[in-house]
């Protein structure tokens, strides 16, 4: 299926953000994770547009969004949540439900902490909050090695280490180039992957969630994880956050990128979860 898509540009601090808008009904903002390309949600957004006004956007420095002042720099979470706010406000919306996956889930949590009046409900899917886990030291050491590889060898080699850590690197070396390009395409392009490895990956995993402000807000928050990624650290981190906030946890179809692999089922589950939140029925 395909919904009519309108596009626009939202001005943020030092950036011009490309966004896409589809459908009619209550507003739903979808925030991308690593690579920041709105196209990652396109198929799921088409299904959701039957019931929602769905906004997706390319995060600053990725795909069609441009940094207009200064040079590309390492991600700042306050800036990322301000960008999400800029997209909502540019579309003349008082508030929106928010969905974010991976790094986008962390941005959604930060937006909820900083601007709760803008967030009608939040569904945060598999945030890579490694510092909250019992095996944080092991995971932190793995990301330290990715950082060293980035500095010494470059982003391509660092991407290989990242793939290996996340169980996406085939044992057969002959297949690794194909897998590498598959990852690059999921992130939109090789340029988006380079930007992710260089400027985003470490700030995401080092981010400290503002549990106090989120807990004190009136925003309904649902943490989420894919039924096929129960052993992965992002799923486990989502469960820990749900427990810390005393908020519900919901399983979704597929794995860390279930929205891309099973868009119809993922969209139906997201609509179901949102409908169950206060004021959303």
Question: Each residue of 150-182: pLDDT tens digit?
Answer: 999 999 889 889 988 988 877 777 777 766 666
Task: Encode 167-204: b = buried (16+ Cβ within 10 Å), e = exposed.
Answer: eebeeeeeeeeeebeebbebbbebebbbbbbbbbbbeb
Considering 158, 173, 202, which residue would you say is the last residue of a domain?
A: 202
Same domain, 191 and 247: no
Q: What pLDDT is attached to residue 184?
A: 61
pLDDT bracket for residue 212 (50, 70, 90): very high
pLDDT bracket for residue 190 (50, 70, 90): confident
Portion of the chain with pLDDT greater than 70, in percent: 94
Residue 280 lies in a domain: no
Residue pair 126/120 in contact by the 8 Å Cβ criterion = no
Q: How far is CA 103 from CA 3, 80, 106, 216, in A?
A: 26, 10, 5, 23
Per the structure, the count of domains in the chain is: 2
Determine phi and psi for 14, rounding to 5 degrees. 75, 15
**What mean pLDDT is predicted for residues 29-44?**
93
Q: What pLDDT is attached to residue 163?
A: 87
Same domain, 125 and 252: yes
Q: What pLDDT is attached to residue 180?
A: 66
Same domain, 107 and 219: yes
Instruction: Return the higher-pLDDT residue of 160 and 227.
Output: 227
d(CA 154, CA 240): 33
Is residue 1 scored above 80 in pLDDT?
no
**Two structure tokens written together for 125:** 């899917």
Same domain, 182 and 48: no
- Candidates 31, 37, 73, 30; CA nearest to 54 is 30
Instruction: Return the higher-pLDDT residue of 166 and 57.
Output: 57
Q: Average pLDDT, whole number, for the chain?
A: 93
For residue range 91-141, what is the model confidence (pLDDT) as tens digits?
Answer: 999 999 999 999 999 999 999 999 999 999 999 999 999 999 999 999 999
Helices (H), the chain: 42-48, 77-90, 103-114, 136-152, 155-165, 176-186, 190-195, 201-206, 211-216, 233-245, 258-261, 263-275
Same domain, 230 and 101: yes
**What mean pLDDT is predicted for residues 5-31?**
97
**Two structure tokens written together for 21:** 């808008």
Is residue 36 scored above 90 in pLDDT?
no
The pTM is what? 0.94
55 lies in which domain range? 5-133+207-275
Helix 136-152 to helix 155-165 angle (10° resolution) is 160
DSSP one-letter string for 94-161: S-EEEEEETHHHHHHHHHHHH-GGGEEEEEEE----GGGSTTHHHHHHHHHHHHHHHHHT-HHHHHHH
- Of the ranges 119-123, 181-185, 223-227, 250-254, which one carries the lowest mean pLDDT score? 181-185
d(CA 254, CA 228): 5
d(CA 208, CA 216): 17
Is residue 67 scored above 60 in pLDDT?
yes
Q: What pLDDT is attached to residue 23?
A: 97
Considering 180, 202, 224, which residue would you say is the last residue of a domain?
A: 202
Q: What pLDDT is attached to residue 188?
A: 63
Is residue 186 scored above 80 in pLDDT?
no
């Amino acid at each position: 299926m395909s919904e009519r898509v309108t596009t626009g540009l939202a001005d943020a601090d030092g950036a011009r953000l490309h966004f896409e808008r589809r459908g009619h009904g209550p507003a739903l903002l979808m925030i991308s994770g690593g690579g920041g390309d709105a196209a990652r949600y396109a198929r799921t957004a088409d299904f959701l547009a039957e019931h929602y006004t769905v906004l997706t956007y390319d995060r600053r420095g990725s795909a069609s969004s441009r940094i207009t002042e200064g040079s590309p720099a390492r991600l700042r979470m306050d800036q990322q949540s301000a960008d999400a706010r800029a997209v909502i406000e540019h579309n003349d919306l008082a508030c929106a439900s928010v969905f974010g996956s991976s790094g986008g889930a962390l941005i959604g949590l930060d937006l909820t902490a900083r601007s709760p009046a803008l967030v009608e409900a939040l569904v945060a899917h598999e945030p890579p909050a490694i510092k909250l886990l019992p095996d944080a030291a092991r995971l932190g050491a793995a990301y330290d090695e990715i950082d060293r590889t980035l500095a010494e060898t470059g982003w391509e080699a660092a991407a290989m280490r990242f793939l290996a850590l996340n169980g996406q690197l085939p044992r057969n070396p002959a297949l690794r180039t194909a897998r590498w390009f598959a990852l690059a395409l999921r992130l939109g392009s090789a340029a988006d992957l380079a930007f992710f490895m260089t400027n985003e990956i470490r700030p995401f995993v080092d981010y400290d969630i503002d549990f106090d402000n989120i807990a004190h807000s009136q925003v309904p928050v649902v943490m989420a994880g894919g039924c096929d990624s129960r052993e992965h650290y992002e799923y486990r981190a989502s469960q820990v956050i749900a427990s810390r906030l005393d908020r519900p946890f919901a399983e979704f179809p597929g794995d860390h990128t279930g929205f891309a692999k099973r868009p119809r089922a993922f969209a139906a589950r997201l609509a179901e979860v949102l409908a169950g939140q206060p004021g959303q029925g």
